[in-house]
Amino acid sequence: MSKSVSLLLAILFPVLAGTALLVVRKKDDRKKILAYVGVVLGITGVLVINALTTKETEIVLFELMEHVPIVLKLDGFGKLFLAIVSIVWILAGCFSFTYMKHEKNEKRYFGFYLVTFGVLVGLGCAGNLITMYAFYEFMTLVSFPLVIHNQSKEAVMAGLKYLFYSFFGAYMALFGLFFLCRYTTTLTFTAGGTLNMELVAGHETLLLVAACLMLVGFGVKAGMFPLHAWLPTAHPVAPAPASAALSGIIVKAGVLAIVRVVFYLFGADFIRGTWVQYLFLTFALITVFMGSMLAYREKVLKKRLAYSTVSQLSYILFGIALLNPVGLTGSMLHMIAHAFIKCALFLCAGAIIFQTGITNVDDLKGIGKKMPLTIWCFTIVSLGLIGIPPTGGFISKWYLATGALDSGIAGFQYAGPIVLLISALLTAGYLLPVTIKGFFPGDDFDYDKLEKCEPGKWMTVPLVILAALSVVIGMFPNGLLSYIQAIAAGLM
């Protein structure tokens, strides 16, 4: 099988398999459905691995209109995104096999889950702005049913909010795209940017406004202030494995789009030192602090984790906004670490809800005695999110802080590390109490009524793998860092 065919199949296979699950009305045995989903996830994973082993390839599928082709092109950054998507999506899917027992309409859930997987693979493989935008919009549409899965009034309203914010952000990006396409040599992603400086001369302000619109528009999906409110509303109402996928991966689509716009279309040199960079840095730091503070005050566990995602995603955006190789290296490393950590945290919350029905943090007293393996995994990944060595979160935040100090940007040079440190302390404040109260409930805890309720292997194995990954990338970062640094250097 050629690499081009493998790449195309990695997109089409899960989309078609998921669609088949949705349209076939026959009532299948649950075991058959799970076996089917497992096989599809496994085959898709193999197809993605096969595609990742190839050199940079480009496939022109068709022309949407004259000089506007739909192109698949897998480069270094795209490969990084695809690897993260595949690991998280397959592990969260395995967790779903048990978790979805207490949810209705499992067939519909798994159908859209598979379709979304394929669309995300397509997003990572998009070779130009038009192709990326098409997959970006498809992703919003096919992930919407995951948000409203239980069809409660709260879920439906949260889903509509997700759609409204996502489309509003996408239209802002589309508005910027209309202007951008007139001043570029090509819309195909090219490291360093594609602006035609002869055409740009005299229209710099217009292009900066277009860049701002696209950054804020795509920043909606990444939960960046001021259009962040959808995230803490939508993520908690979805089933826990869907929340894990949303917070671990879907939000990274916004990051992917911003990286493509900044470094592959406009170019870092065009934005560096302008009001757009300062506004981007400001919004990122506001979001880091605000998200951490709101998470610290929140009592509902899944909503607390959703606010945490708002904060942590802007760590990544801050690193991008620094527009230097060190900051971008920290940003991409944190993108990886956060995907594993946040997926694990939401899956831990799902395991707790599945086994005990507890949703409020104040009611988790003694949970570590009941579910020791789950809470140990929660603790390990929490340390990673805080940024304590030897986790990957420590390495990524080190590079982010170093990138800020090296940037020489007045005010942000020191404000960045200070805000990141305050956010880390708040992160410890909203995550570690779960561990402390969970393992040390105090003398008033009724040990006589203690019952172990650890979930089964389909739920615990993904947790252990994700916790291990969050530590491994911190203890043995050299290979990954070399790969990321090569990408960052090429983009500058």
Helix, strand and coil percent figures for the chain, each rounded to 5: 75, 5, 20
Q: Which two tokens mark 181?
A: 């396409």
Q: How far apart are CA 427 and CA 412, in angstroms?
A: 21
Q: What is the DSSP string of 128-165?
A: BHHHHHHHHHHHHHHHHHHHTTT--HHHHHHHHHHHHH
Which among 261, 102, 98 is positioned nearest to 169, based on CA atoms?
261
3-class state of residue 56 by DSSP: coil
Q: How far apart are CA 228 and CA 232, in angstroms?
A: 8
DSSP single-letter state for residue 398: H
Cβ atoms of 160 and 178 closer than 8 Å: no
3-class state of residue 189 by DSSP: coil
Q: Residue 180 is which amino acid?
A: L
Q: Taking all residues of the chain, what is their mean pLDDT, rounded to a whole number?
A: 90
Which comes out higher in pLDDT, residue 4 or 90?
Answer: 90
Identify the residue whose tokens are 């990695």.
10
Confidence at 219, pLDDT banded by 50, 70, 90: very high
Instruction: Supply φ then ψ for residue 357, to 5 degrees.
Output: 80, 5
Q: Which of 177-186, 254-263, 269-278 has the lowest mean pLDDT?
A: 177-186
Bin 351: left if φ > 0, else alpha if -120 < ψ < 50, else beta. alpha
Q: What is the mean pLDDT of residues 331-337?
A: 95
Q: What is the mean pLDDT of residues 74-97?
A: 93
pLDDT at 258 exceeding the cut of 60: yes
**Segment (H or E) for 203:** none
Bridge partners, residue 62, by sequence: 70
Query: Which pLDDT belongs to residue 54?
Result: 75
pLDDT at 137 exceeding the cut of 90: yes
Overall pTM surpassing 0.85 (yes/no): yes
Q: What is the mean pLDDT of residues 237-242?
A: 90
Which among 356, 385, 330, 358 is positioned nearest to 451, based on CA atoms?
356
| HEC letters along 308-334 | HHHHHHHHHHHHHHCCCHHHHHHHHHH
Q: Which two tokens mark 29?
A: 């045995």
Confidence at 89, pLDDT banded by 50, 70, 90: very high
Query: Which pLDDT belongs to residue 447?
Result: 61
**Segment (H or E) for 74:** strand 68-74
pLDDT at 381 exceeding the cut of 60: yes
Angle at 113 (CA atoms; ends 157, 343), nearest 5 degrees: 80
* Domain residue extents for the chain: 272-492
Q: How far apart are CA 354 and CA 356, in angstroms?
A: 6
Confidence at 446, pLDDT banded by 50, 70, 90: low
Bridge partners, residue 58, by sequence: 73
Q: How crowded is residue 269: how many other Cβ atoms within 10 Å of its Cβ?
A: 12
The percent of residues in the chain predicted with pLDDT above 70, rounded, is 97
